[in-house]
A and B are shown apart, each in its own frame.
Chain A
Amino acid sequence: MNELTKTTSFVKFAVIAVILSLGGIADAVYLTVHHYTGEQVPCGATGGCEMVLSSAYATVYGIPLAFFGAVAYFTAFSLAVLTSFGNVKLWNLFGLQVTLMACFSAWLVYLQAYQIQEFCQYCLVSAGICFSLFITFAASKILK
């Protein structure tokens, strides 16, 4: 595969990743703001948001996990944007990051299911986005 074809192949996946990351940023920023305003989040679908977001797992040294999520999504977004503009070498770095994010999300879903025994819809959306980002990267490698 020549360089131009390779670049074109990754670009379409990178564009999908850009869109997904934007969703992740919005979700994580919303939860970060919620943490600092202390407002209850609307939680119709799953009903366990407050239980999850006030659990011992929701913060690290007082900083909400959602803040770290926002930083991670923004980094993934930046790498995907740069890839979509032809900087293909960064795509592997993106892959490494979203793999770690997907693993961490899987652990968070496990905590909700077995440790907290409640689900927060915003956390599930975030996990879904992380898995989708990972699948996007994996597909780019398999289907190239």
Chain B
Amino acid sequence: MSEKKSSLPVAIIGVVLLAAVGGGAWLYSQGGKPPVKPAGTNANKTQNIDYNTASPGAEPAWSKGSNNASVVIEEFADLACPQCAKVTPILHEVRSSYGDKVKFIFRQFPLEIPAHKNAYDAARAAEAAGMQGKFWEMENILFKNQTLWQPVADPRPLFEDYAKQIGLNVEQMKTDMIGMPATLRVDADKKRGKALDVNSTPSVYLSGKLLELKDTASENLKKLIDAELAKNSSAPAVPATNASSSASQ
């Protein structure tokens, strides 16, 4: 009897552990189904915002792929955002797998929150690197090291170190980073994001339609791109409107 009693708590703990793991697995499996869009998220708000006539953002935009691509992926990202660091490489990889059929545009959207206090400077550092033709290299190294530069009081020495690593003229980069052109480019991207009611990062648009975060997973994104390409296959190639110019291929 006492043996039975002593095994009961262990059994209860075991059952709850199984329920937690099983419930988690079930929830995870439900993740592939279309989610219920919560009222008030930007997924809903953007339905009424005209993607093509919104403020154009920095021109030329940082982009990869052909200007004649019929499908355009546009990402609003914060270089201090962990989810952006995960999603952006996927977007690059998927884009490159489609060659010239798909164009990828990167938009700066540093969040204005104290937790991301260095995000704006990081965006300007990336723009400054872009002026020396190394935007994507800087974007990559900033995403990879975001846990190092984000919490520090002054991230500039780290940015300079990254600039050195990717072969930039560091002094030039330091000057460009605080210069008006870099600042204006970041602000222009932010203005476009705000016009589209972007309120979280990453916000990814596929041919003007805001994606749910789960749709930025490689397989889901490829399905959506395939559907877009199929839809556009009989129509002439439609260049991206106000984001069609390209700063970098």
Contacts and interface: CB of A to CB of B under 8 A. Distances in A.
Interface of A: 22, 25-26, 29-30, 32-33, 36-44, 47, 50-51, 54-59, 61-62, 70, 74, 77-78, 81-82, 84-85, 87, 111, 114-118
Nearest to A117: B113
Nearest to A58: B82
Interface of B: 5-6, 8-9, 12-13, 16-17, 20, 23-24, 27-28, 31, 35-36, 38-41, 43, 80-84, 111, 113-116, 146-147, 150-151, 199-201, 212-214, 216-217
A51 B116 CA distance: 11
Contact of A51 (B27, B31, B35, B199): B199
Contact of B27 (A33, A40, A54, A62): A33
Contacts of B17: 74
Nearest to A50: B200
A70 B114 contact: no
A141 to B, nearest CB: 22
Contacts of B199: 50-51
A51 B213 contact: no
Contacts, number: 108
Contacts of B8: 85
A117 B115 CA distance: 9
B99 to A, nearest CB: 26
A36 B29 CA distance: 11
With a 10 A CB-CB cut-off, give which of A29, A32, A36, A55 has the most chain B CB atoms: A55
A39 B212 contact: yes
A47 B147 CA distance: 26
A74 B20 contact: yes
Contacts of A54: 81-84, 200-201
A40 B213 contact: yes
Contact of A56 (B9, B27, B80, B214): B80
B147 A56 contact: yes
Contacts of B24: 29, 32-33
A56 B116 contact: yes
A70 B27 contact: no
Contact of B16 (A25, A44, A85): A25
Nearest to B85: A62
A30 B13 contact: no
Nearest to B9: A85
Contact of A47 (B6, B40, B80): B40
B40 A70 contact: no
Contact of B114 (A43, A58, A117): A117
B39 A44 contact: yes
Nearest to B35: A39
A38 B211 CA distance: 11
A40 B41 contact: yes
Contacts of A25: 16, 20
24 contacts: A29-B24, A32-B24, A33-B31, A37-B31, A37-B214, A38-B214, A38-B217, A39-B212, A43-B40, A50-B199, A50-B200, A55-B81, A56-B115, A56-B116, A56-B151, A58-B82, A62-B82, A70-B20, A74-B17, A85-B5, A85-B8, A87-B9, A116-B113, A117-B113
